[in-house]
């Protein structure tokens, strides 16, 4: 991991200095290395800021703490800092800019979907603790992209950033499904390499067996991925979380995803002597489409939540992994295997028509 000169560099307009300074001082009390301009007057004395600011805000810090306001977007030097930070953010997978709202002014280049803290609602301590937790997550050298090795898991558990168990789960699921990405893509290309199986008959019985098998795969997944299994992995109030169980639950999700992919892949990989049997079977393979898309979407949602978990939990959102309605102030972490074994009516009609053309 890179070794940065500073943990955090606040980027703010001079008009907002009085609001920013208490956060800077609290961060320093928490042991955070802060680049605060007035504390580094000697470093900046005589420097060309056009050259120096991009170095600081683009290369020398772990995070940029961006205090956004009408003054912030109007100043030329904050523009230099912001553009340097945004250029750096484009180069790395995990988050780099940590925005804090002072008012509702929109900042060029920061999407509305980016999670903000807000000094009008979150006090100095909340924001400082959020930064400290982000750095704890970084010190463990663990992100969703980090290989899940015993050493990295031990570091994560030792630092215990907020939501570490959900970060670990997201990492296991994300990495496992990424390894299946080409297989997932090939499914929607309707391709699989030949498996050597040749179906000489009309294949009606085989098609019916496959329908039952897919339904059973999904039902078994939902029955296995129970609330009790999730509680055993993520713990209940007063009971410590077990990282090995979290990892196992994540790998189970990946295994289910792969099992459904393999179900469809086997259909595409089979050679059919009867063209009608081939057509009906190929249509049948598309029955898995909605289930696969739903599970794939869950994985990407998990990754997005993991990237913003610390600041959202620190700001007061509570992690909710239940199936009930999620209140606005709760952070939803979808821990379920979605059960969407549904067939589009048009696809079903196409399949039934293909089945009628098969010889009994």
Q: Which pLDDT tens digit goes with each residue over 180-227?
A: 999 999 999 999 999 888 888 878 888 989 989 998 988 888 788 877
pLDDT at site 330: 36
Q: 334 with 197, same domain?
A: yes
Distance CA 23, CA 17 (A): 10
Q: 29 with 73, same domain?
A: yes
- What pairs with residue 8 in β-bridges? 34, 63
Q: 37 with 163, same domain?
A: no
What residues have CB less than 8 Å from 146, skipping those under 6 apart? 152, 171
Examine residue 103 and state whether it is found in any structural domain, yes or no: yes
DSSP assignments along 230-288, one per residue: HHHHH--TTS---HHHHHHHHHHHHHHHHHHHHHHHHHHHSEESSHHHHHHHHHHHGGG
211's enclosing H/E stretch is helix 204-224
pLDDT at site 327: 30
- What is the C-alpha radius of gyration for the chain, rounded to an integer number of angstroms? 26
Mean pLDDT confidence for 269-273: 92
Least confident of 64-68, 106-110, 139-143: 139-143
pLDDT at 324 exceeding the cut of 50: no
Examine residue 203 and state whether it is found in any structural domain, yes or no: yes
Q: 69 with 186, same domain?
A: no
Give just the sign of the alpha carbon dihedral 343, 219, 325, 318: negative
Per the CB < 8 A criterion, the answer to whether 82 and 119 are in contact is no
Mean pLDDT confidence for 130-139: 75
Per the CB < 8 A criterion, the answer to whether 15 and 71 are in contact is yes
Q: 184 with 257, same domain?
A: yes
pLDDT at 122 exceeding the cut of 70: yes
Q: What is the CATH number of the domain that holds 29?
A: 3.40.50.10140
Examine residue 1 and state whether it is found in any structural domain, yes or no: no
The pTM of this model reads: 0.64
Q: 28 with 167, same domain?
A: no
Domain hosting residue 93, numbered range: 6-139
pLDDT at 325 exceeding the cut of 70: no
Per the CB < 8 A criterion, the answer to whether 132 and 99 are in contact is no
Give per-residue pLDDT as tens, 235-258.
765 566 788 888 998 999 999 999
Domain count, the chain: 2
């Amino acid at each position: 991991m890179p070794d940065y000169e500073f943990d955090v560099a606040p980027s703010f307009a001079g008009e907002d200095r009085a609001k920013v300074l208490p956060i800077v001082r609290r961060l320093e009390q928490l042991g955070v290395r802060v680049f605060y301009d007035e504390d580094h007057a000697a470093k900046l004395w005589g420097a060309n800021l056009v050259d120096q600011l991009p170095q600081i805000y683009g290369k020398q810090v772990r995070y940029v703490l961006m205090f956004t306001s009408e003054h912030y977007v109007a100043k030329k030097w904050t523009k230099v800092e912001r553009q340097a930070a945004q250029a750096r953010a484009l180069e790395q997978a995990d988050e780099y800019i940590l925005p804090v709202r002072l008012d509702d002014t929109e900042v060029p280049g920061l999407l509305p979907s980016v999670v903000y803290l807000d000094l009008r609602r979150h006090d100095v301590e909340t924001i400082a603790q959020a930064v400290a937790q982000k750095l704890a997550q970084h010190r463990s050298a663990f992100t969703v992209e980090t290989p899940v090795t015993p050493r990295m898991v031990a570091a994560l558990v030792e630092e215990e950033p907020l939501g570490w168990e959900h970060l670990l789960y997201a990492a296991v699921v994300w990495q496992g499904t990424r390894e299946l990405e080409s297989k997932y893509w090939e499914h929607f290309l309707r391709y699989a390499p030949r498996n050597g199986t040749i179906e000489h008959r009309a294949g009606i019985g085989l098609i019916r067996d496959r329908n039952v098998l897919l339904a059973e795969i999904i039902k078994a997944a939902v029955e296995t991925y129970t609330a009790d299994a999730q509680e055993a992995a993520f713990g209940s109030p007063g009971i410590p979380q077990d990282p090995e169980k979290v990892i196992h639950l994540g790998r189970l999700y990946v295994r289910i995803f792969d099992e459904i992919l393999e179900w469809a892949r086997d259909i595409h990989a089979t050679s059919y002597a009867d063209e009608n049997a081939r057509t009906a079977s190929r249509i049948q393979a598309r029955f898995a489409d909605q289930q696969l898309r739903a599970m794939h979407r869950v994985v990407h949602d998990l990754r997005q939540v993991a990237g913003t978990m610390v600041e959202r939990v620190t700001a007061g959102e509570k992690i909710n992994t239940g199936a009930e309605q999620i209140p606005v102030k709760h952070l939803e972490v979808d821990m379920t295997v979605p059960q969407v074994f549904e067939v589009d009516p048009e696809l079903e009609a196409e399949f039934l028509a293909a089945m009628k053309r098969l010889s009994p």
